[in-house]
Amino acid sequence: MGHYIEVESGVKVYVEDIGTGQPVVFIHGWPLNSKSFEMQANELALQGFRFIGIDLRGFGKSDKPWTGYDYDTQASDVKAVVDHLGLENFVLAGFSMGGAIAIRYMSKFGGQGVDKLMLMGAAAPLFTQRDDFEINLKPEEVDGIIEQIKKDRPAFLAQFADMFFEQEQSPEFLHWFQMLGLEAAAHSTINAAVALKDEDLRSELAGISVPTTIFHGQKDQICAYALAEEMNKQIPNSVLVPFEQSGHGINGDEPEKFNTELVNVLNGSEVK
């Protein structure tokens, strides 16, 4: 079933809520929405878990206000959903930008209610390079992306889909992926890209105290595999699960391995 939950006065986000059991809260990547996890929703419900997929503000079926695309506000929106649904002992699973927002949730709210953390292709601790951080995109490359979105958002999303996956996907799948991106507002897509470019989570990794599993594609062209190695070094009690055949979209490139590893983590049988 779907819920619309008010996260601040006049702003509602859409939440997909499927199955029963321990809740697993999924935060999607830029510029997608919770539908990007449909194969996980199905599998988790079958395995006795409760899938909760949040459409972040500006994306999917959620309201699309002009402001609030910084990680602080997005993490507060997640907290509002958690509080509204009364979630406890849940698994927080963030993909790409959603992984960054999950880390901010952990630091801003002391990981309230979180039993385990999963970071999947996470855009963390930084999405863009700094003088003292040489991994991933240069800030001006993100500026270039923003210009492309302003010029021709559908064409950009088609090109982005090609970068997103390492394995060959059907034309229909890639079209579906583009449509997910088009469900977002243009201003949301741009403002969230600015957050990706500017936000810095480096000081927030050491304080994460729950068991953390990092899923990352070794051929990722959007969030370099070196980011996963950095997170694994900095987050205490973290386990890195490499996806050798995957680009950024690991649940599309290696769907069977992704779901198997996901259920292993949820059942507490992951390799330490």
Domains of the chain (ranges; CATH) run 2-266 (3.40.50.1820)
Give, rounded to a whole angstrom, the gap between the first and last alpha carbons of the chain. Answer: 35
Residues 83-132 have pLDDT tens digits of 999 999 999 999 999 999 999 999 999 999 999 999 999 999 999 999 99
Catalytic site positions: 96, 220, 248
What is the structure's pLDDT at 1? Answer: 86
Give this prediction's pTM: 0.97
Contacts of 126 (CB under 8 A, 6+ apart): 133, 135, 136, 199, 200, 201, 202, 227
From the number of C-beta atoms within 10 Å of its C-beta (0-12, 13-18, 19+), residue 93 rates as buried
* Tokens of residue 155, six digits: 């064409």
> What is the C-alpha separation between 146 and 270, in angstroms, rounded?
39
Q: What is the mean pLDDT of residues 142-171?
A: 96
* Helix, strand or coil, per DSSP, at residue 69: coil
pLDDT of residue 80: 98
Say how many C-beta atoms besides its own lie within 10 A of residue 169's C-beta: 18
Segments of 10-86 assigned E as strands: 11-18, 22-27, 49-54
